[in-house]
Amino acid sequence: MNYPNGKKGTSGKAAPDRRGAANQAFSNRGMTLEEDINDTNRYYLDMNMAIIHKKPTPLQIVKVNYPKRSAAVITEAYFKQASTTDYNGVYRNKYIDFEAKETKNKTLFPLANIHNHQVAHMRSVVEHGGICFLLIRFTVYQQTYLLPAEKLFKHWDDKLKGGRKSISYEQICQEGYIIPFQYKARIDYLAIIDKLYY
């Protein structure tokens, strides 16, 4: 494609969506998954749709430097405990809990990106009737997928038995749900939750 100024455009080819849905818009390049989720959650809160927040990371502060009376700088700290998942809250009378991960890999999502204690926490949420899932962004394709926790458990258990240590992009396309990029709710994951659980 040539632009009016005579310069040639680049052909930003993305992998085809296996469900036949259109590829996501590239207007959000540079935004991280976390920024997109936080913007989406603010929209949900402003519209009184849901209350979902990023969980604070529990830190034990060890050393603080006071260069000025008005400014304190933490120079040493450590994690009090292993964190569970990234986000939690309430939507339509149900507890929501999820982890968000980005990968630059084109062909797979490494399970090393998730930890044992996180999977144990997710299992507990599901056992208690909560809605739990993983949001995975393939940054190369600018595609974000919702993978229900129950699908993740299958792959995790297989890994523990000596199976694959990753989930292929193809499997995520088949077992997950692509979340189209939008203007107001950047990644409207609640639209997928509505279809799956209500």
Task: Give the chain's domains with CATH numbers.
Answer: 33-55+83-197 (3.40.1350.10)
Contact 101, 114 (CB under 8 A): yes
Can you tell me the distance from the alpha carbon of 114 to that of 178, in angstroms, rounded to the nearest whole number?
A: 20
What residue type is 163 in one-letter code?
A: G
Residues 6+ positions from 129 with CB-CB distance below 8 Å: 94, 95
Q: Is the pTM of this model over 0.85?
A: no
Task: Render each residue's pLDDT in the chain as its tens digit; 198 residues.
Answer: 444 444 444 444 344 444 333 343 334 444 699 999 999 999 999 999 999 999 866 556 667 787 776 777 777 766 555 668 999 999 999 999 999 999 999 999 999 999 999 999 999 999 999 999 999 999 999 999 999 999 999 999 999 999 999 999 999 999 999 999 998 899 999 999 999 998
